[in-house]
Amino acid sequence: MAVFTVLSLSQVAPPILETKIKAVYPNDHFPLGPGKWLVVSDGIAKNVSDKLGLADGTAGIVAVFAISGYYGFAPNSIWEWLAQKFTVKNA
Protein backbone atom coordinates (compact mmCIF):
# COMPACT_ATOMS: atom_id res chain seq x y z
CA MET A 1 0.00 0.00 0.00
CA ALA A 2 1.10 3.56 -0.68
CA VAL A 3 -0.15 7.03 0.22
CA PHE A 4 -1.10 9.42 -2.58
CA THR A 5 -2.32 12.99 -2.85
CA VAL A 6 -5.24 13.63 -5.16
CA LEU A 7 -5.39 17.31 -6.13
CA SER A 8 -8.04 19.08 -8.13
CA LEU A 9 -6.36 21.71 -10.27
CA SER A 10 -9.70 23.29 -11.19
CA GLN A 11 -10.81 26.54 -9.53
CA VAL A 12 -13.65 24.57 -7.93
CA ALA A 13 -13.42 20.78 -7.67
CA PRO A 14 -16.44 19.13 -9.26
CA PRO A 15 -18.52 17.31 -6.61
CA ILE A 16 -18.12 14.09 -8.60
CA LEU A 17 -14.44 13.92 -7.58
CA GLU A 18 -15.27 13.79 -3.87
CA THR A 19 -18.06 11.28 -4.58
CA LYS A 20 -15.64 9.01 -6.48
CA ILE A 21 -12.98 9.21 -3.74
CA LYS A 22 -15.50 8.34 -1.02
CA ALA A 23 -16.88 5.44 -3.08
CA VAL A 24 -13.53 3.93 -4.14
CA TYR A 25 -11.62 4.62 -0.90
CA PRO A 26 -14.33 4.70 1.80
CA ASN A 27 -11.92 3.94 4.67
CA ASP A 28 -8.69 5.05 3.03
CA HIS A 29 -9.09 8.75 2.29
CA PHE A 30 -8.45 11.92 4.26
CA PRO A 31 -9.71 15.33 3.10
CA LEU A 32 -7.04 18.03 3.28
CA GLY A 33 -9.26 20.87 2.11
CA PRO A 34 -11.39 21.79 -0.89
CA GLY A 35 -10.22 19.67 -3.81
CA LYS A 36 -7.39 17.98 -1.90
CA TRP A 37 -7.26 14.45 -0.46
CA LEU A 38 -4.86 11.81 0.77
CA VAL A 39 -5.67 8.25 -0.25
CA VAL A 40 -4.12 4.86 0.43
CA SER A 41 -4.01 2.42 -2.47
CA ASP A 42 -2.01 -0.33 -4.11
CA GLY A 43 0.25 0.33 -7.05
CA ILE A 44 1.28 3.59 -8.61
CA ALA A 45 -0.37 6.97 -9.17
CA LYS A 46 -1.83 5.81 -12.50
CA ASN A 47 -3.66 3.00 -10.67
CA VAL A 48 -5.32 5.58 -8.39
CA SER A 49 -6.27 7.67 -11.42
CA ASP A 50 -7.68 4.61 -13.19
CA LYS A 51 -9.66 3.48 -10.11
CA LEU A 52 -11.17 6.95 -9.81
CA GLY A 53 -11.88 7.17 -13.55
CA LEU A 54 -10.03 10.46 -13.94
CA ALA A 55 -8.90 10.03 -17.55
CA ASP A 56 -12.21 11.12 -19.08
CA GLY A 57 -12.11 14.55 -17.40
CA THR A 58 -15.56 14.32 -15.78
CA ALA A 59 -13.95 14.88 -12.36
CA GLY A 60 -12.15 17.99 -13.62
CA ILE A 61 -8.44 18.56 -13.97
CA VAL A 62 -6.84 16.30 -11.37
CA ALA A 63 -3.28 15.26 -10.52
CA VAL A 64 -2.25 12.25 -8.41
CA PHE A 65 1.12 12.10 -6.65
CA ALA A 66 2.73 9.33 -4.58
CA ILE A 67 4.05 10.35 -1.15
CA SER A 68 7.30 8.86 0.11
CA GLY A 69 7.57 11.01 3.23
CA TYR A 70 6.01 13.97 4.94
CA TYR A 71 6.82 16.93 7.15
CA GLY A 72 5.37 20.36 7.89
CA PHE A 73 2.99 22.31 10.07
CA ALA A 74 -0.60 21.10 9.94
CA PRO A 75 -3.40 19.87 12.20
CA ASN A 76 -2.52 16.81 14.31
CA SER A 77 -5.28 14.80 12.63
CA ILE A 78 -3.30 14.81 9.37
CA TRP A 79 -0.08 13.61 11.04
CA GLU A 80 -1.96 10.93 13.00
CA TRP A 81 -3.71 9.63 9.87
CA LEU A 82 -0.44 9.59 7.91
CA ALA A 83 1.46 7.89 10.73
CA GLN A 84 -1.20 5.18 10.91
CA LYS A 85 -1.24 4.62 7.14
CA PHE A 86 2.55 4.65 6.78
CA THR A 87 2.84 2.21 9.73
CA VAL A 88 0.34 -0.15 8.10
CA LYS A 89 2.07 0.25 4.72
CA ASN A 90 5.49 -0.56 6.17
CA ALA A 91 4.34 -3.35 8.54
Could you list the residue range(s) of the whole structural domain that residue 38 is in?
2-90
- Provide the domain count of the chain: 1
pLDDT at residue 87 in the model = 72
26-79 per-position pLDDT tens digit = 999 999 999 999 999 999 999 999 999 999 888 889 999 999 989 999 999 999
Where does residue 88 fall: left (phi above 0), alpha (psi -120 to 50 degrees), or beta otherwise?
A: alpha
Q: Are strands 2-8 and 36-41 parallel, antiparallel or unpaired?
A: antiparallel
User: Residue 89 pLDDT more than 60?
Assistant: no
Separation between Cα atoms, residue 70 and residue 59, nearest integer Å: 26
Query: What is the CATH number for 29?
Result: 3.30.70
